Amino acid sequence: MGQRAASTVSLSFDEVRIPRANLLCEPGDGLKILFSALNKSRPSVAAHALGIARAAFEDGVAYINQRKQSGRNIIEFQGIQFMLADMATDLALCESWLWRVGAMIDSGEDDIGIEASMLKMRASDLAMQISENAVQLHGGYGYCKDYAVERYMRDAKITQIYEGTNQIHRQLIGRSFIEK
């Protein structure tokens, strides 16, 4: 559907044996290593999602500044202004959280799983919401391949899925509040 520049294929390893000398870690440590890697890669998914969101927002704003309805620029309508205010605010907050999580990684913090999940989940949901709004702001043109907002919406969807679906992230975040 989206990300047409990156092909995706299925890989299958049936009856593959790895010599013990070629193991990268102890048997059974793979899941721990995977989760550690995901905690550091999820912020990059969030950055990707926020790039999509930012581009969709800017394209939408540019379009409604020049498109007229009933003799007025679309941006002059109060309902549109409210929509822009919400999108701009959510985008600024999410971008700020990306910088915060990035600083945690740069400082060497290892226990960032919940922060990374919050960031990936919120940024990818925001990318989908803003790209959908940008399509709406373009009206019928937003649904055409002639405008980039159509692609932004397609590409935003995968950011809600890979590196753990947002439903999984909600579960991880929610579980973090269970007292032990």
Task: Choose among 65, 169, 70, 75: nearest CA to 122.
Answer: 169
Q: Is 58 a catalytic residue?
A: no
Tell me: pLDDT of 1 over 90.
Answer: no
Tell me: pLDDT of 172 over 90.
Answer: yes
Buried b (16+ CB within 10 A) or exposed e, 73-100: ebbeeeebeebbeebeebbeebbebbee
Mark residue 17 as left, alpha or beta (left: phi above 0; alpha: psi -120 to 50; beta: remaining): beta
Tell me: pLDDT of 114 over 90.
Answer: yes
pLDDT on residue 3: 65
Tell me: pLDDT of 6 over 70.
Answer: no
Domain boundaries along the sequence of the chain? 78-180
pLDDT in tens, 56-111: 999 999 999 999 999 999 999 999 999 999 999 999 999 999 999 999 999 999 89
Tell me: pLDDT of 37 over 90.
Answer: no
What number does CATH give the domain 78-180?
1.20.140.10
pLDDT on residue 4: 61
Q: How far is CA 122 from CA 30, 47, 79, 151, in A?
A: 27, 11, 24, 20
The residue from 115, 132, 150, 163 that is catalytic is 163
